Protein backbone atom coordinates (compact mmCIF):
# COMPACT_ATOMS: atom_id res chain seq x y z
CA UNK A 1 0.00 0.00 0.00
CA UNK A 2 1.27 3.46 -0.83
CA UNK A 3 2.17 5.37 2.34
CA UNK A 4 -0.01 8.28 3.37
CA UNK A 5 1.72 11.52 4.24
CA UNK A 6 -0.74 14.30 5.18
CA UNK A 7 1.90 16.99 4.85
CA UNK A 8 2.79 16.01 1.28
CA UNK A 9 -0.88 15.86 0.30
CA UNK A 10 -1.30 19.34 1.73
CA UNK A 11 1.70 20.52 -0.26
CA UNK A 12 0.19 19.20 -3.45
CA UNK A 13 -3.15 20.82 -3.02
CA UNK A 14 -1.82 24.25 -2.22
CA UNK A 15 0.58 24.16 -5.15
CA UNK A 16 -2.22 23.18 -7.51
CA UNK A 17 -4.36 26.03 -6.23
CA UNK A 18 -1.52 28.50 -6.71
CA UNK A 19 -1.01 27.42 -10.32
CA UNK A 20 -4.72 27.49 -11.06
CA UNK A 21 -5.35 30.96 -9.60
CA UNK A 22 -2.11 32.88 -9.01
CA UNK A 23 -3.85 36.23 -9.03
CA UNK A 24 -5.57 35.33 -5.77
CA UNK A 25 -2.27 35.82 -3.98
CA UNK A 26 -1.01 38.88 -5.87
CA UNK A 27 -1.53 41.09 -2.81
CA UNK A 28 1.54 39.59 -1.11
CA UNK A 29 4.50 41.72 -2.30
CA UNK A 30 7.98 40.22 -2.73
CA UNK A 31 10.44 40.69 0.10
CA UNK A 32 14.17 40.86 -0.48
CA UNK A 33 15.53 40.68 3.04
CA UNK A 34 16.62 37.32 4.49
CA UNK A 35 14.51 36.01 7.38
CA UNK A 36 15.59 37.18 10.81
CA UNK A 37 15.96 34.68 13.66
CA UNK A 38 12.80 34.32 15.70
CA UNK A 39 12.87 35.87 19.17
CA UNK A 40 14.55 33.61 21.75
CA UNK A 41 16.11 31.50 18.99
CA UNK A 42 18.72 30.18 21.43
CA UNK A 43 18.00 28.43 24.73
CA UNK A 44 20.12 26.28 27.02
CA UNK A 45 23.75 25.91 28.01
CA UNK A 46 24.49 22.29 27.19
CA UNK A 47 27.56 20.49 25.90
CA UNK A 48 26.12 19.82 22.44
CA UNK A 49 24.37 21.97 19.81
CA UNK A 50 20.91 21.33 18.32
CA UNK A 51 18.90 23.24 15.70
CA UNK A 52 15.13 22.60 15.51
CA UNK A 53 13.34 23.32 12.21
CA UNK A 54 9.54 23.34 12.01
CA UNK A 55 7.49 22.32 8.98
CA UNK A 56 5.34 24.09 6.40
CA UNK A 57 2.61 26.19 7.98
CA UNK A 58 4.17 25.89 11.43
CA UNK A 59 6.43 28.09 13.53
CA UNK A 60 9.25 27.97 16.06
CA UNK A 61 6.84 27.96 19.00
CA UNK A 62 5.86 24.37 18.19
CA UNK A 63 9.04 23.26 19.97
CA UNK A 64 8.33 25.17 23.20
CA UNK A 65 7.29 22.11 25.21
CA UNK A 66 10.25 20.04 23.98
CA UNK A 67 13.06 22.54 24.54
CA UNK A 68 13.09 22.53 28.39
CA UNK A 69 14.00 18.82 28.37
CA UNK A 70 16.89 19.39 25.95
CA UNK A 71 18.53 22.40 27.58
CA UNK A 72 20.64 20.50 30.10
CA UNK A 73 22.40 18.64 27.28
CA UNK A 74 22.10 20.97 24.28
CA UNK A 75 22.38 24.58 23.30
CA UNK A 76 19.04 24.63 21.47
CA UNK A 77 18.34 26.91 18.50
CA UNK A 78 15.02 27.25 16.66
CA UNK A 79 15.18 28.13 12.98
CA UNK A 80 11.97 29.67 11.64
CA UNK A 81 11.10 29.73 7.95
CA UNK A 82 10.46 33.03 6.19
CA UNK A 83 6.81 34.10 6.35
CA UNK A 84 6.12 31.78 9.27
CA UNK A 85 5.44 32.74 12.85
CA UNK A 86 7.27 35.98 13.75
CA UNK A 87 9.81 35.76 10.90
CA UNK A 88 9.45 38.14 7.96
CA UNK A 89 8.83 36.71 4.47
CA UNK A 90 11.62 36.56 1.91
CA UNK A 91 11.70 36.98 -1.85
CA UNK A 92 11.29 33.78 -3.90
CA UNK A 93 11.07 31.26 -1.04
CA UNK A 94 12.17 27.72 -1.82
CA UNK A 95 13.72 24.76 -0.05
CA UNK A 96 17.11 25.69 -1.50
CA UNK A 97 16.73 29.32 -0.37
CA UNK A 98 15.86 28.18 3.15
CA UNK A 99 18.90 25.87 3.16
CA UNK A 100 21.04 28.93 2.41
CA UNK A 101 19.31 30.89 5.16
CA UNK A 102 19.83 27.99 7.56
CA UNK A 103 23.53 28.09 6.72
CA UNK A 104 23.62 31.82 7.47
CA UNK A 105 21.61 31.32 10.66
CA UNK A 106 24.10 28.71 11.89
CA UNK A 107 27.01 30.98 11.04
CA UNK A 108 25.48 34.09 12.62
CA UNK A 109 24.71 32.27 15.85
CA UNK A 110 28.10 30.58 16.07
CA UNK A 111 26.56 27.12 16.09
CA UNK A 112 29.25 24.46 15.87
CA UNK A 113 28.66 20.92 14.59
CA UNK A 114 24.95 20.73 15.49
CA UNK A 115 22.41 17.98 15.48
CA UNK A 116 19.75 19.08 12.98
CA UNK A 117 16.11 18.18 13.68
CA UNK A 118 13.57 18.85 10.94
CA UNK A 119 9.81 18.24 10.95
CA UNK A 120 7.99 17.73 7.64
CA UNK A 121 9.29 20.33 5.19
CA UNK A 122 11.86 21.23 7.83
CA UNK A 123 13.16 17.68 7.50
CA UNK A 124 13.63 18.20 3.77
CA UNK A 125 15.62 21.37 4.49
CA UNK A 126 17.72 19.63 7.14
CA UNK A 127 18.46 16.71 4.82
CA UNK A 128 19.60 18.93 1.96
CA UNK A 129 21.79 20.96 4.33
CA UNK A 130 23.39 17.78 5.70
CA UNK A 131 24.09 16.51 2.18
CA UNK A 132 25.59 19.87 1.19
CA UNK A 133 27.61 20.29 4.41
CA UNK A 134 28.26 16.81 5.87
CA UNK A 135 31.36 17.88 7.80
CA UNK A 136 29.34 20.53 9.66
CA UNK A 137 26.56 18.27 10.98
CA UNK A 138 26.87 16.02 14.03
CA UNK A 139 23.57 14.12 13.66
CA UNK A 140 20.52 14.38 11.41
CA UNK A 141 16.99 13.69 12.67
CA UNK A 142 13.98 13.99 10.36
CA UNK A 143 10.37 13.66 11.48
CA UNK A 144 7.61 12.59 9.06
CA UNK A 145 9.72 13.61 6.07
CA UNK A 146 10.85 11.84 2.92
CA UNK A 147 13.76 12.38 0.52
CA UNK A 148 11.37 12.78 -2.41
CA UNK A 149 7.83 13.92 -3.23
CA UNK A 150 5.14 11.26 -3.40
CA UNK A 151 2.11 12.81 -5.12
CA UNK A 152 1.39 12.18 -8.80
CA UNK A 153 -0.12 14.49 -11.42
CA UNK A 154 -3.61 13.00 -11.19
CA UNK A 155 -3.75 13.56 -7.44
CA UNK A 156 -2.60 17.15 -7.86
CA UNK A 157 -5.36 17.83 -10.40
CA UNK A 158 -8.02 16.29 -8.16
CA UNK A 159 -6.94 18.25 -5.12
CA UNK A 160 -6.74 21.45 -7.20
CA UNK A 161 -10.40 20.98 -8.13
CA UNK A 162 -11.37 20.57 -4.48
CA UNK A 163 -9.43 23.64 -3.46
CA UNK A 164 -10.91 25.80 -6.19
CA UNK A 165 -14.30 25.21 -4.59
CA UNK A 166 -13.22 26.36 -1.11
CA UNK A 167 -9.52 26.91 -0.43
CA UNK A 168 -9.73 27.85 3.24
CA UNK A 169 -12.01 24.99 4.14
CA UNK A 170 -9.85 22.46 2.33
CA UNK A 171 -6.59 23.61 3.97
CA UNK A 172 -8.27 23.78 7.37
CA UNK A 173 -9.64 20.28 6.96
CA UNK A 174 -6.20 18.89 6.08
CA UNK A 175 -4.55 20.38 9.15
CA UNK A 176 -7.45 19.35 11.36
CA UNK A 177 -6.72 15.74 10.34
CA UNK A 178 -3.09 15.83 11.48
CA UNK A 179 -3.89 14.95 15.08
CA UNK A 180 -6.54 13.04 17.02
CA UNK A 181 -6.23 15.59 19.82
CA UNK A 182 -8.69 18.42 19.22
CA UNK A 183 -6.61 21.12 20.89
CA UNK A 184 -3.57 20.21 18.77
CA UNK A 185 -5.62 20.14 15.58
CA UNK A 186 -7.12 23.56 16.29
CA UNK A 187 -3.71 25.03 17.08
CA UNK A 188 -1.96 23.77 13.95
CA UNK A 189 -4.89 24.74 11.73
CA UNK A 190 -4.88 28.29 13.09
CA UNK A 191 -1.11 28.55 12.65
CA UNK A 192 -1.27 27.28 9.07
CA UNK A 193 -3.99 29.72 8.08
CA UNK A 194 -1.96 32.61 9.56
CA UNK A 195 1.17 31.76 7.56
CA UNK A 196 2.10 34.20 4.79
CA UNK A 197 0.38 32.80 1.70
CA UNK A 198 3.09 33.75 -0.81
CA UNK A 199 5.76 32.07 1.32
CA UNK A 200 3.58 29.02 1.84
CA UNK A 201 2.86 28.59 -1.86
CA UNK A 202 6.41 29.17 -3.06
CA UNK A 203 7.77 26.60 -0.64
CA UNK A 204 5.13 24.16 -1.84
CA UNK A 205 6.10 24.75 -5.44
CA UNK A 206 9.75 24.06 -4.70
CA UNK A 207 8.87 20.84 -2.89
CA UNK A 208 7.57 19.22 -6.06
CA UNK A 209 11.04 19.25 -7.59
CA UNK A 210 12.50 17.76 -4.41
CA UNK A 211 14.19 14.38 -4.86
CA UNK A 212 17.40 13.60 -3.00
CA UNK A 213 17.20 9.81 -3.22
CA UNK A 214 20.20 9.55 -5.57
CA UNK A 215 22.33 11.56 -3.13
CA UNK A 216 21.39 9.55 -0.04
CA UNK A 217 24.16 7.05 -0.69
CA UNK A 218 26.68 9.82 -0.05
CA UNK A 219 25.22 10.86 3.31
CA UNK A 220 27.86 10.24 5.97
CA UNK A 221 25.96 11.91 8.84
CA UNK A 222 24.25 9.51 11.30
CA UNK A 223 20.56 9.58 10.38
CA UNK A 224 17.43 8.99 12.45
CA UNK A 225 14.00 8.93 10.82
CA UNK A 226 11.08 9.40 13.23
CA UNK A 227 7.67 8.52 11.86
CA UNK A 228 4.18 9.08 13.24
CA UNK A 229 1.34 6.60 12.92
CA UNK A 230 -0.11 8.79 10.17
CA UNK A 231 2.90 8.12 7.98
CA UNK A 232 3.54 4.62 9.37
CA UNK A 233 0.07 3.33 10.32
CA UNK A 234 1.13 -0.31 10.81
CA UNK A 235 4.30 -0.99 12.84
CA UNK A 236 4.76 -4.29 11.01
CA UNK A 237 5.08 -2.56 7.62
CA UNK A 238 7.33 0.32 8.69
CA UNK A 239 10.38 -0.99 6.82
CA UNK A 240 8.33 -1.37 3.65
CA UNK A 241 7.04 2.21 3.97
CA UNK A 242 10.57 3.49 4.51
CA UNK A 243 11.61 1.86 1.24
CA UNK A 244 8.62 3.24 -0.65
CA UNK A 245 9.35 6.73 0.63
CA UNK A 246 12.89 6.49 -0.75
CA UNK A 247 14.88 5.96 2.43
CA UNK A 248 16.21 2.61 1.16
CA UNK A 249 18.89 4.58 -0.68
CA UNK A 250 20.46 5.75 2.59
CA UNK A 251 23.81 4.23 3.53
CA UNK A 252 22.67 3.71 7.11
CA UNK A 253 19.49 4.66 8.91
CA UNK A 254 17.98 4.32 12.38
CA UNK A 255 14.19 4.36 12.60
CA UNK A 256 11.80 5.17 15.41
CA UNK A 257 8.01 5.03 15.14
CA UNK A 258 5.93 7.14 17.50
CA UNK A 259 2.26 6.39 18.12
CA UNK A 260 1.14 9.98 17.54
CA UNK A 261 -0.30 12.20 14.87
CA UNK A 262 1.92 14.28 12.60
CA UNK A 263 2.67 16.90 15.28
CA UNK A 264 4.69 14.70 17.65
CA UNK A 265 6.22 17.67 19.45
CA UNK A 266 2.78 18.88 20.50
CA UNK A 267 1.30 15.49 21.39
CA UNK A 268 4.21 13.86 23.25
CA UNK A 269 6.89 16.49 23.85
CA UNK A 270 8.62 14.73 26.76
CA UNK A 271 8.91 11.41 24.96
CA UNK A 272 10.08 13.11 21.76
CA UNK A 273 12.73 14.99 23.74
CA UNK A 274 14.00 11.68 25.13
CA UNK A 275 14.36 10.30 21.59
CA UNK A 276 16.19 13.42 20.40
CA UNK A 277 18.50 13.26 23.41
CA UNK A 278 19.30 9.59 22.92
CA UNK A 279 20.25 9.86 19.26
CA UNK A 280 21.70 13.34 19.52
CA UNK A 281 24.50 12.23 21.81
CA UNK A 282 24.87 8.53 20.94
CA UNK A 283 25.66 7.38 17.41
CA UNK A 284 23.36 4.64 16.07
CA UNK A 285 21.36 4.44 19.28
CA UNK A 286 19.27 1.24 19.39
CA UNK A 287 15.60 2.10 19.87
CA UNK A 288 14.59 -1.55 19.82
CA UNK A 289 12.43 -1.35 16.68
Structural domain spans, the chain:
6-281
CATH fold for domain 6-281: Rossmann fold (3.40.50)
Residue 209, judged by CB atoms within 10 A of its CB (0-12, 13-18, 19+), counts as: exposed
Res 285 pLDDT > 90: no
Res 269 pLDDT > 70: yes
Residues 6+ apart with CB under 8 A from 113: 49, 136, 137, 138
Mean pLDDT, residues 190-214 taken together = 86
Res 267 pLDDT > 80: yes
Mean pLDDT, residues 54-74 taken together = 95
Mean pLDDT, residues 189-208 taken together = 85
Res 211 pLDDT > 50: yes
- What distance in Å separates the CA atoms of residue 115 and residue 275, rounded to the nearest whole number? 13
Mean pLDDT, residues 183-199 taken together = 91
- The C-alpha angle 152, 155, 159, rounded to 5 degrees, equals 140
What is the predicted pLDDT for the residue at 45?
Answer: 66
Mean pLDDT, residues 261-282 taken together = 94
| Tens digit of each residue's pLDDT (9 = 90 or more) over 8-56 | 544 443 343 333 333 333 333 334 444 444 445 666 566 899 999 999 9
Res 170 pLDDT > 90: no
| Tens digit of each residue's pLDDT (9 = 90 or more) over 212-249 | 999 999 999 999 999 999 999 999 999 999 999 999 99
Amino acid sequence: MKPTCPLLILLACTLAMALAAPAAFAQDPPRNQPPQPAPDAHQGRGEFEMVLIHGLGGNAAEWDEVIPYLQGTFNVYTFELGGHGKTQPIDNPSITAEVHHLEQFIKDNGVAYPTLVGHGLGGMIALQYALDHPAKVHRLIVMDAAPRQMIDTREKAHIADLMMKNYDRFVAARYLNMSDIEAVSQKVMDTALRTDSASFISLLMSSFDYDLTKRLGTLSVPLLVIGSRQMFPDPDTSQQVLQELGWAHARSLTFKRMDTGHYMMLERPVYLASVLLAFGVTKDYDFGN
